[in-house]
Amino acid sequence: DVADLPGVPEWLPDHLRDDGIEELYPPQAEAVEAGVTEGENLVASIPTASGKTLIAELAMLSSVARGGKALYIVPLRALASEKQADFEEFEQYGLDIGVSTGNYESEGGWLADKDIVVATSEKVDSLVRNDAPWIEDLTCVVTDEVHLVDDGERGPTLEVTLAKLRRLNPDLQTVALSATIGNAEALATWLDAGLVDSDWRPIDLQKGVHYGQALHLEDGSQQRLSVQNNEKQTAAIVRDTLEDDGSTLVFVNSRRNAEAAAGRLANTVRPHLTAEERDQLADIAEEIRDVSDTETSDDLADAVADGAAFHHAGLSRGHRELVEDAFRDRLVKVVCATPTLAAGVNTPSRRVVVRDWRRYDGSAGGMAPLSVLEVHQMMGRAGRPGLDPYGEAVLIASSHDEVDELFERYVWADPEPVRSKLAAEPALRTHILATVASGFARSREGLLEFLEQTLYASQTDDSGQLERVVDDVLTYLQRNDFLEIEGGELDATSLGHTVSRLYLDPMSAAEIVDGLRDWERGASDSTSASGSPADAPAEPPADSGFTTASELAEDADGSDDADADPDDISALGLYHLVSRTPDMYQLYLRSGDREEYEMELFEREDELLGPTPSEFEEGRFEDWLSALKTARLLEDWATEVDEATITERYGVGPGDIRGKVETAQWLLGAAESLASEVDLDAARAISEARIRVEHGVREELVDLAGVRGVGRKRARRLFQAGITDRAQLRDADKSVVLAALRGRRKTAENVLENAGHRDPSMEGVEPAADVSVDLD
């Protein structure tokens, strides 16, 4: 009973009852028995939708009630806002909630007063690197989806970050929440924690496989579920669910497939909608169109008007929220999603269809089956407690033999064990530098001892493997002047400290420094040298390493600065430079693209920083071209090409443009710091390229677009009306501003107020007749 919880704040039982929670679910009760409200460490491995969030809340609230401070680590930025909304419910009892994602260089001082902080593991890692003083005040850390330590790209950060937090605060309560996995006890051993390992679910789940005219269920029964002429299996299942007044979540393996499937399934849903539902859906479709005017937005709105939707990481936050809400309100009857949704957005439905159980995997060179863990997480979204009698999760078989295969592979299978991915060079390169720079280790032995606290160390029998990779990484970091090793002592150089605080992969930093240096050298050579850098031999220099900072500084001092005009660096060159670092997720080069970007490279090679790799170096040349494609997207954005054209030209969603822009902003900011760290005179050019990409405008609009509420389109309209900067806006004739903003009074008042206009009121003002702005 929620009245009998030790250690929780006194308002909690009533609060829970108001939310319809009278009793704990059995795994939650086990967690309380294991002391989660009394400061004990805990690993909880329980199925999706079985109440993990409440376990987290019990831990955090009781810790805060004892005068402490809690941190909740989310696996995805997209989930931070969802958790924020959950936890903000507690603000009525005087708690302060803070959310921190993005912006890796700050120490987040404003978070010092918060009782509960929500952040991604990358953000927490960066806060530790920047010595955020409040980190030491933490008394409780909860990590959601801890099984993601198995993820090759992001897992090591989570692992190392937990190890650091626990070293900084030896009394820290650690609570790790996981989907059901094969080796939960290994995680518990690693974290020195009690274990709740349960497969209890609040609502029954029937798993099954559909083939032909039947749904085969795991209890051995069969339901007739017939496919009509010309109908796909998925459509038949969606229709069958609709006839029973239920909704369906369909998981597919790519964004494109999600969009295509939603478009098709709209035809299935349409005839089942009531007139009232159609009206409400039409309103939501309008809201979707208002979020952005791109093809994705249009396609989504069209599907939603018919009661279907797609959901993937290429959608903007606004789109995602509208879809999730409409699905929860049962207006949208089917959502076709890529697996991101399964990772935690709480959108249960009567039925789940796992349509694709293979997806493209670059490292496998083709289609590879999904893990049992992932498929079970998707399946776990079936069934809404209190609303449905039970949930059904269905895999689609395309042949009779496949029915058996899918039962073996997924329905009856246990999820895989989770394995640490730490002992890989890219991961250790970053984390070893940060560990040394923040003083967690001062010698090779200290470093190995620190790494002993990771999951990796607790899982391996071959400690030699870790030592070997550590030694390789130390050599690399030393050679590039990020670290100094003297008499067994490890020390970060000034450059190394900067790189660690900037949250850069050291390899990105080396690429940036090297590229800038090449540009400076090229610029100072260009008067005397014949031939462009493209004619130079393409092999890397003999020492194949990157130049050291001290060499660089010498270079900078020794060369005649007058020859290297920093204003000559083109924005494209800088966008390309940051796009080729391992910290930028480059655009994929499609087969038809190669020729186009080779042409582009031929025409604009002079603008790129550093020598183009030879075409015979397949991998590097390919990367160079992908980086060029990515850089061209950024350049388009920064020259005011409209969003719809960009999404079409590069085959991306609006959310992807945002993502690339944010990464570029961060990396260019870092490049600015690096340039001044190694005395390169390029900071101004970099800063301008950064601001242009931030606002998506040409140079002349940078000032205007920086006014809150203005943005790229309005800045251009104002500029066309003769208002060219912030100062002019402040003193502008209101009728001109109103005309430029197409008679939108509210917007005009807002903009004028933000620009500091004396009297922003638009009352009685009429749009000036002689101002014509017509961009669209």
The residue ranges that bind ligand ADP (CB under 6 A) are: 21, 24-25, 28, 48-54, 346
- Phi and psi at 164, nearest 5°, equal -70, -45
For residues 384 and 716, which CB has a smaller minimum distance to ligand ADP in the complex? 384
- Distance CA(715)–CA(721), nearest Å, equals 10
- Distance CA(589)–CA(623), nearest Å, equals 9
Q: How far is the CB of 203 from ligand ADP (least distance, A)?
A: 9
Q: How far is the CB of 202 from ligand ADP (least distance, A)?
A: 6
Q: How far is the CB of 21 from ligand ADP (least distance, A)?
A: 4
Q: How far is the CB of 602 from ligand ADP (least distance, A)?
A: 52
Q: How far is the CB of 60 from ligand ADP (least distance, A)?
A: 13
Query: Structure tokens of 4?
Result: 């009998």
Q: How far is the CB of 29 from ligand ADP (least distance, A)?
A: 9
Residue 73: its H or E element:
strand 70-74
By C-alpha distance, which of 339, 322, 340 is closest to 331? 322
For residues 177 and 423, which CB has a smaller minimum distance to ligand ADP in the complex? 177
- Beta carbons within 8 Å of 659's beta carbon, 6+ residues apart: 585
* Whether 573 contacts 532, CB under 8 Å: no
Q: How far is the CB of 344 from ligand ADP (least distance, A)?
A: 7
Please name the amino acid found at residue 97.
I
For residues 57 and 607, which CB has a smaller minimum distance to ligand ADP in the complex? 57
Q: How far is the CB of 31 from ligand ADP (least distance, A)?
A: 11
Q: How far is the CB of 83 from ligand ADP (least distance, A)?
A: 10
Q: How far is the CB of 609 from ligand ADP (least distance, A)?
A: 46
Q: How far is the CB of 349 from ligand ADP (least distance, A)?
A: 13
For residues 59 and 423, which CB has a smaller minimum distance to ligand ADP in the complex? 59
* Whether 348 contacts 246, CB under 8 Å: no
- Distance CA(19)–CA(542), nearest Å, equals 67
For residues 37 and 454, which CB has a smaller minimum distance to ligand ADP in the complex? 37
- Beta carbons within 8 Å of 212's beta carbon, 6+ residues apart: 227, 400
Query: Structure tokens of 93?
Result: 């009892």
Residue 392: its H or E element:
strand 391-396
* Whether 715 contacts 705, CB under 8 Å: yes
For residue 629, give Cα distances in angstroms to 585, 626, 689.
Answer: 12, 5, 17
Q: How far is the CB of 49 from ligand ADP (least distance, A)?
A: 4
- Distance CA(301)–CA(654), nearest Å, equals 14
For residues 26 and 711, which CB has a smaller minimum distance to ligand ADP in the complex? 26
For residues 75 and 610, which CB has a smaller minimum distance to ligand ADP in the complex? 75
For residues 1 and 763, which CB has a smaller minimum distance to ligand ADP in the complex? 1
Q: How far is the CB of 331 from ligand ADP (least distance, A)?
A: 19
- Distance CA(511)–CA(582), nearest Å, equals 9
Measured in residues, the chain has a length of 776
Q: How far is the CB of 270 from ligand ADP (least distance, A)?
A: 30
Query: Structure tokens of 48?
Result: 């999706």
For residues 12 and 285, which CB has a smaller minimum distance to ligand ADP in the complex? 12
Per-position DSSP letters for 226-284, written without gaps between them: PPPTT--HHHHHHHHHHHTT--EEEE-SSHHHHHHHHHHHHHHHGGG--HHHHHHHHHH
By C-alpha distance, which of 424, 420, 439 is closest to 470? 424
Q: Helix count (H) and strand count (E) of the chain? A: 32, 19
* Whether 73 contacts 119, CB under 8 Å: yes
Query: Structure tokens of 23?
Result: 């009793």
For residues 51 and 610, which CB has a smaller minimum distance to ligand ADP in the complex? 51
Q: How far is the CB of 769 from ligand ADP (least distance, A)?
A: 56
Q: How far is the CB of 289 from ligand ADP (least distance, A)?
A: 30
For residues 60 and 209, which CB has a smaller minimum distance to ligand ADP in the complex? 60
User: 333 — alpha (psi -120 to 50), left (phi > 0) or beta?
Assistant: alpha
Per-position DSSP letters for 320-370, written without gaps between them: HHHHHHHHHTT-S-EEEE-GGGGGT----BSEEEE---EEEEGGGTEEEEP
For residues 53 and 296, which CB has a smaller minimum distance to ligand ADP in the complex? 53
- Name the residue with tokens 């590097």: 620
Residue 164: its H or E element:
helix 155-168
- Phi and psi at 10, nearest 5°, equal -70, -20
- Distance CA(22)–CA(14), nearest Å, equals 9
For residues 346 and 460, which CB has a smaller minimum distance to ligand ADP in the complex? 346
Q: How far is the CB of 194 from ligand ADP (least distance, A)?
A: 18
Query: Structure tokens of 301?
Result: 């709105």
- Collapsed DSSP state (helix, strand, coil) of residue 504: coil
For residues 20 and 67, which CB has a smaller minimum distance to ligand ADP in the complex? 20
* Whether 5 contacts 28, CB under 8 Å: no
- Distance CA(521)–CA(559), nearest Å, equals 8
Please name the amino acid found at residue 552.
L
Tell me the β-bridge partners of 251. Answer: 337, 354
